[in-house]
Every structure is written in C-alpha cells, then in structure tokens.
Structure 1
Amino acid sequence: MTRLSDRSAGAVLEIGNRLSAAPSPRMVAVAFAEEVSGQVPLSPHLVLVDLAHVITLAERDVIPRGPARDLVGALLDLHDEGGAEALAELGDLYTNHEARIAARTAAAGWLGTARARREALTTAYHLLLRERLLVLGTALTRLGRRLAAAALAHADQVMPDYTYLQAAQPTSLGHYLLGFAWPVLRDLGRLEALYVRTDLCPAGCGSMNGSVAFQDRAALSRRLGFSSPLAHGRDAMWQADLAIEAMALSVTASVGLDRLAEDLMIFATAEFGLVRLADKHSRASKILPQKRNPYALAFIRGLANRLIGAQAGVAASARTPTGQMDNRMLAYGAVPEALGSCAEATDLMAEIIGALSFDGARAEALLADGACFASDLAERLCLALGLDFRRAHGLVGRLVTRLEGEERALSTLTQDELSAACHAFDAALPPVPDGLLAAAFDPKTCLEARRDVGGAAPQEVRRQARELDDTFRHRAEDLAATARRNAMALGSLVGEARSCSGRAP
C-alpha cells in the first residue's frame, strides 16, 4: 500500500481546524493502534455503507452529482481492491477510510455530509454482525443434523447414564446425543431472534437525532438489504444491548459445546473407555508415548472460557453514561470475533461427532454390575407390589447396602433373595412376580419401557432424531435464503454504483 502523506493524516484528524497539534506518538501506538485493529474486519462493509450514503444523498440532491460520481468511483476502487492496511497514525477505521478516499478524489469532503463517523461504523457493524450470525446459524444446523444422524444410528446402543460421574440409569448413545441437539436448536432460536433485531438499519441518523439534510433512511435501508430502518436515531447510535446479547449467544452456544466436550473427554479416558476420538482430533504427548490427548475437545473448552471473559468485558464496557464512545471500542472487534470463533468451534464439534467411535462392548461391561438398574428395580416393585415409591426406594437401598457389605454387585441378586427381602420388609406385600428381576436388569427391556415423549425407547429416539433432522434442514434452508437475499441487495448496490459512476457493470 502507498503510504498516505502527513498532510492527509492531518486533514482527516482535523489538525489545524479544531486541534492544533497531531496526536502524540504514544497515543498513536497505544490507543489508536488498539482501536483500529479491532475495526479492520468492518472495512469492506464500510465501503458498502458509504456507497449507499453517497448514492442516496445524491438522489436527494444533497450531494451534487459531479462530486457524487467522483466519490462513488473512488469507493468502487476501494471495493475492487479489497482490504487494505489500516494505519494507527490515521486514527480509527473511518478516518483511515476517509484518507484513502481523499487520496483519490477532491470530492472526499462530501463524504461526511449529515453523519458522524459513528453512524457509518455502526451501520458497517450491523452488516458484519448480520453476516456472522448467518454463518453461526448455519454451523448450528450442521451440528444439529450431525447429532441427529448419530442418534438415529445409535438408538439401540445401550450405555450407562451418569449423575455425579456415577452410574445412574440405563440409556442409549442415541438418547444421550439427542440431549445436546435440543440446546443447539434453542441456540438457533435465540440467534434468529437476535438476527431480526440486528437486521435494522442505523444509517441516516446524523449524529443521533437526525439531520437537517433529509437522508431518506428507508432508501438507505433498502440499498443495504436491511429489513427496515432502526426506529429511533439516538437508540440506533448508542444501543449497548445488542452487543451484550450477541456475546450471550456466543457464550450460551459455546458452553453447550463445552458440556458435550467435557463429557466426551471423560468418556474417552481409559477409566471409562466408552468413546475414542479420531486421531485427526487428537494430539500426541511429547513426553508420554502412550497418550493420545483429546486436543480438539480441550480447545472447545478453552474457547468457552475465553468467550465468557469476553462477554464480561463487553458488558462492562457498556456500563457508561449514554453518548460515550468507549462502549463501542471493544464491541466492534470482540462481538464479530466471538460469533466467528463460536461458528468455527461448532463446525469442529460436528466433525468430531462424525468421526467418533463408540465401544459398545465396553458400554455393556459398565452395565454388568447392575448399579444402573437400581431405580428400575424400585419402580417395578412399586408398580407390581402396590408399594409407594419412597418405600420401594428404601427397600432397594437396603439391598444395595447389604450386597456391598458382602462385596457383591447388585447384578448378583437372585429372584429368591429379592422375594425374601420384600417379605422381610413387609410381610403383607404380595409375592414378587416371576421375571421381575430379570426384566429390571435387562438393558433392552429397560430402554423399551421408556416409551413416553423424550424417553430412551429406541422408537422414541428415532422419532425425535428424524424430526430434529427435518427441523434443522428447514432452518438451514431459511438461513441460506436470507444470505442470498442479502448478497443480492448488496450486489445490486454495487451495480447501481457502477452505473452511477459511468462504469460498466
């Protein structure tokens, strides 16, 4: 990039107008450099915002046609060149952008007509957020479909479910995985609601209260592909809640990924041995030759930690009086980065699930001691003997305690021992039906009994998996259609700009 002159820097920083001295080298190196580094991803969107601004104001005869044509031509040059280095000595992204335009045309002075830099940057920020939300939403649909497919494939594969990392009840791998698909769907719902609020155009607000020059906010919104103008000018310029909400979405989605990653890290240990990560998602130890470290899962866990901290930073920066610029300094960079990182981690988790292998024999071995079937046994006694559940629970608890004292597993309990224990507990109880103990200790029978909505019965798991896959597929189609509409609107804007400047489309 050709370095811009000190004269250009002085002009865009208003040296010789309101200020009499250039910014100190220390302020440039410390403050300006940090600010502009977070704004660089907004650069291509800022060009589009400026094109819409110039074309709309020229259409209203606010900017004369000749300078407007020159401005549009210079902006198209920037659009066609793509990204460019942002120099800290030129201030923020807006003044960098202004200097690059001033180097191409004397009409640059018209660019700031009836607006503050904040309006241009905020509008570019909304465009970028809109884009990142669609990317994250699409990643969530891919993960949701991958989880649904894995659940469908493993609807019959029994395994222990755990509470407090202790064997609790029998389940299936399919039912377990569906437990993570539903939060993904809720993340998608939160994202879609946030998208509606983000898809409102801040452009045309002047500094915050409108401007003397009529800017035609509806036309600006239409040219940039927004659903409508953001209703209130001051709210458009100073709102802090959308940034906090977007960070909350990133945190919620990443914590959902983390919870699955944490489980899989435990299940992948030799002590559990239920799953095995593919080598492509593992990393070797440099000192312990026997180890395959679940690096991809650890990365996802670390990302959740980082985004929780970033959310706190964005929320804290918003806690200012209104009309303060520091609540945007962090958000311009942190929020799009968080959404992008979350999307990448979501796709990584989908890839992990697709390549994960499950050890069915190990799962059955972990069920063999019968501990997972204690609550099933209590329920069956409750139903068969007319015993209230609290008493049935107590009866089975005493049996477990007795067997532990004898160094026996619950699975070694016999039908005769169960009958004797029930009679000793309450002689008025009816006889224990033949086969009750065998049914309580059979994993397949236990799963088949859980037929109600949300249960682990294989047919219910398959029903939910198919429904979820269909839902995620339709949501992905909707997101893709929205992305196409946005691309068409912005493509039309660039085409209109080429026509306005006299250039071939």
Structure 2
Amino acid sequence: MSEGKGQTMWGGRFATTPSDIMNEINASLDIDRRMAEEDVAGSRAHADMLAEMGILSAEDNEAIQKGLDLVTGELRAGTFPFRKELEDIHMNVEARLKELIGEPAGRLHTARSRNDQVVTDFRLWTRRALDETSHLVTGLQAALVRRAGEHVATVMPGFTHLQTAQPVTLGHHLLAYTEMLERDRTRILDCAVRLNECPLGAAALAGTGFPIDRDMTAEALGFARPMANSLDAVGSRDFALEALACLSIAATHLSRLAEEIVLWTSPQFAFARLLDEWSTGSSIMPQKRNPDAAELIRAKASLITGLYASLQGAVKALPLAYAKDLQDDKRLTFEAFDTFDLCVRAMTGMIGTIRFHPETMRAAAAKGFSTATDLADWLVRELGLPFREAHHVTGRIVALAEEKGVDLAGLTLLDMQTVHAAITADVFNVLTVEASASSRTSYGGTSPVRVAEQVAQWTQRLRLE
C-alpha cells in the first residue's frame, strides 16, 4: 500500500488509510506543537545515549544532531513546515529530520516509543511552565508587598460574614494575600520536584531489550532520575493533575482578591479606584466604570478548576498503561497554564496601580461598632471582669449606642456608667479605630508595628530593595 494521510510512521499494518474524520479527531498538532523544542531536546539526549551505548553509530548521531540543529533553527525562525496529516509534533519533527538528513533519521526511534517520547516532552514542558509560573506569582507578591508598605497604618474595616468586625490595616489585608500566594508558590515548586523523573526509555509500556542507559538520558534532560516502572512512566499523568490542582488553588486566591477589588471599587464601598487601563465602560450608561479585569479573573478561576476536573475525569478510569484519552492532557494543561498566567499578570497590573482611598476606608472602619471588642477587652483588663461578663456588658452598651444613633465613642461617660458604674473616662482611649488596630500587637496581628515588620521581612525575602 502507499503511505496515506496519518500513516507515514505507522501505516504498515493497515490496508486502507484513515477517514478524514478519523484524521481530524486523531490529530493533535495544533496543540502539541508547543512542545517542539522539548521534543528536539528529548531526541538529542536519546540519540547521544544510543551512540554512547553503541546502538547508533557516531556518524549517524552526528548527522542526527546536525539535522536537529536545522530543525531547531526552522522552529525558531517560524519556517518549520508543519504537516497536520502527520498527527503530532513528534512525527512532524521525525519526518522533517528524515527530509533533511535521510536514512540516519530512521534510526533515531530505536529503543523509543511515542508513548515515552510524548510523556517525556510533556514533563519537560510542564516543568518549565511551573518554573515560569512561580516567577509570575513572585511578581504579584512583590506588588502586594510594595503596596502594603505604603499602607502600613491605613485603617480599614475588617470583615467577617461581610459585616464590619474589627479595624485592621490595609497593609495587613494585602499581606494576607502575600501569604496565600507563598503557599501557592511553594506548592508549585513542590509539584515540579515530584514530576522531575524521566520516562524516556520506558518505550511503549514494558521497557526495551536494547542495552540503553536511562540514567544518561535523565541527566542530560535535567531530571533527577529515571522513572522506576515503565507502566507507570507512560500511563500516569498525576504530575499534570497535581500541576492543575496547584493552579486551581492559586486561582481561587486570585478570585477572592478579585472579588474584593470589585467590592472596593464600587460606589457603595468607594475604598479604591482602578485606573482606566483595568476598567471598561458601558455601551449605554456613560457614567459606568466596570472592574472587568477583576470580574474576568473570578470567571477564569472557575475555568481553571474545570480544566483540572476534566483532566481528572479523563484519567480516573484508565487501565494501565497508555490510552488515547491521554492525548487531551496537553490541551487541558496548556489552557490552564495560559489562563492562570494571564490572570496573574492582570492582577499584578491592578494591584500595582490601584488607587486606595484611606479617608473612606477609615470612615467605614469606624462604623458598625467595630471597636466593641476593644471595649470588652478594656473591661477585662482594667476592671477585672470575666470575659463573658464583659461581652454581655459591651453588648448592652452597643445596644444603647445604636438606640441613640451614635458610635461607641459618641456615648458619654454617664451613658456607659448606666450600664456598668465602674467604667472610667480612660475607656475612650481604646475606642478609636487607630487605637484598636495599634493594640493588636500579637505575632501576625494587624498593628502597624507588626505589619511594618512583615513588610520588611517580605522585602528581604523577595529581594525588593
């Protein structure tokens, strides 16, 4: 038979060519061409190893390496002749190599299957993507720390249940996301450590009878070691699942911060204003300033979680070793990384340029009896009341203030003494929002002293100076 579409590399077993629809559903070139340079790197390492072990002649290896140089040049110049009928990037590279150097190219696939070739490329790509993503997360952390340093003492309301709870500082609030992102960053780096094992040499599923040196190829590609089980090597995608799980958790944190930006920039809060670069308008309402970048991050966080769930669904019922279901793993993973990276860049831009309104924040912090806990603590500290009794007394004072339409500091001393006669004028020293925030000096607290310390530590850790 003649070589038909999609059968250049594997058509010997078949009497007819695949249908056009089969070619369409089977082709992955539009997706996996992103791994072209990883594929070349894997082929270089494999050829060198074959030559070192005497499986490939030095002359053939030299021809292959020079041919791969030409392929790399074409890829980087944008002149590589991609052919969709060759299914994927791996067959495209091999076919192009054959066009460039002839017969030696046909020996490159000795002791190698597309199964171990593909997953090796995929691990290389994911490892690089995780490293790049960790740097983007660090960039967002840096933006948060810089803004926290500007607002060490800026008082704002802290919320629970989205109800005013206690005064906090804006710097403290921003550093909370810095901490979340640090856990995200370290999860990403931990994932990169676990995936850093080399599948190359596992062949189709059972290993190979050729006397290969898998340690040599693993070292050449920067892996810590070869994978110890050939079935596991070609049939497992938990490294990609873990990567997407890490992205999903991190995207959830981005979404929470995005939600706060949406709230803060609304007229009802008016805590901040996004620059025009991160806002859009309305086609009918000329007054509108929509925080679309933040809203899109909220939506895209769900997309990333959905991509993780899709990959998990694809692999959860697959028997060992390889199945074609795994072809979609790259599409899902690439899209998740692309989406997450875009979200991080957008959030970094917003955080770096958002204009905060400290006066509005301070006024909001003073509402809702936010210093009630400070009053209860004063009753415990100065009058020796058990906290439960102090809580009850404070609740009655809050009810009195609410009845009179004032905040706690707006009550007179006589008002408070009608609830508890031992209260003195010193109580008013703890009823300002600044005094409340400043009093929270425990480690990890919102006091400007503690926030300044944390900013200094993060500045050093991130090498921002």
TM value normalised by structure 2: 0.93
Out of 210, 218, 241, the position equivalent to 1:213 is: 210
2:60 matches 1:67: yes
2:38 matches 1:45: yes
Q: Match for residue 13 of structure 2?
A: 18
SS at match of 1:167: strand
Q: Match for residue 363 of structure 1?
A: 361
Q: Higher relative CO (CA 8 A, sep ≥ 6), structure 1 or 2? A: 1
2:464 matches 1:469: no
Which string of whole-angstrom CA distances, capped at 9 and with x for unpartnered residues, describes residues 332-389 of structure 1?
Answer: 2222332243233223212211101111111122134352112221222222222222
SS at match of 1:473: coil
Out of 381, 391, 394, the position equivalent to 1:393 is: 391
Q: Match for residue 188 of structure 1?
A: 185
Q: CA RMSD in A?
A: 2.0
1:445: how far off? 1.3
- Kept in 2, the 8 Å contact 1:284–1:291? The answer is yes
- Kept in 2, the 8 Å contact 1:370–1:410? The answer is no
- Kept in 1, the 8 Å contact 2:231–2:320? The answer is no
CA distance in 2, matches of 1:80, 1:170: 60
CA distance in 1, matches of 2:45, 2:349: 40
1:64: how far off? 2.6
SS at match of 1:61: coil
The AA in structure 2 aligned to 1:134 is D
2:453 matches 1:460: no
CA distance in 1, matches of 2:323, 2:96: 24
CA distance in 1, matches of 2:33, 2:411: 68
Q: Match for residue 91 of structure 2?
A: 95
- Kept in 2, the 8 Å contact 1:32–1:88? The answer is no
User: Runs (4+) of structure 1 moved beyond 6 Å?
Assistant: none
Out of 99, 107, 112, the position equivalent to 1:110 is: 107
Q: Match for residue 502 of structure 1?
A: none
CA spacing shift, 1:41–1:87, aligned 2, 3 Å: same
Q: Match for residue 47 of structure 2?
A: 54
CA distance in 1, matches of 2:161, 2:368: 17
SS at match of 1:454: coil
1:218: how far off? 1.4
Deviates more, 1:202-211 or 1:149-158: 202-211
CA distance in 2, matches of 1:432, 1:327: 72
1:408: how far off? 4.0
Once the two structures are superposed, the pairs formed by residues 52-451 of structure 1 within 5 Å of their partners are 52-82=45-75, 84=80, 86-104=82-100, 105-319=102-316, 320-369=318-367, 371-423=369-421, 431-436=422-427, 438-451=428-441
CA distance in 1, matches of 2:41, 2:237: 23
% identical aligned pairs: 30
SS at match of 2:202: coil
1:206: how far off? 2.1
SS at match of 1:209: coil
CA spacing shift, 1:369–1:70, aligned 2, 3 Å: closer
CA distance in 1, matches of 2:31, 2:443: 47
CA spacing shift, 1:8–1:224, aligned 2, 3 Å: farther
- Kept in 2, the 8 Å contact 1:45–1:127? The answer is yes
Which string of whole-angstrom CA distances, capped at 9 and with x for unpartnered residues, describes residues 122-166 of structure 1?
Answer: 111111111111111111111112211211211111111112221
- Kept in 1, the 8 Å contact 2:148–2:170? The answer is yes
The AA in structure 2 aligned to 1:271 is Q
CA spacing shift, 1:11–1:240, aligned 2, 3 Å: closer
TM value normalised by structure 1: 0.86
- Kept in 2, the 8 Å contact 1:123–1:201? The answer is yes
In structure 1, stretches of 5+ residues that fail to align are: 1-5, 424-430, 475-505
1:9: how far off? 4.4
The AA in structure 1 aligned to 2:265 is A
- Kept in 2, the 8 Å contact 1:370–1:411? The answer is no
The AA in structure 2 aligned to 1:363 is M
- Kept in 1, the 8 Å contact 2:6–2:18? The answer is no
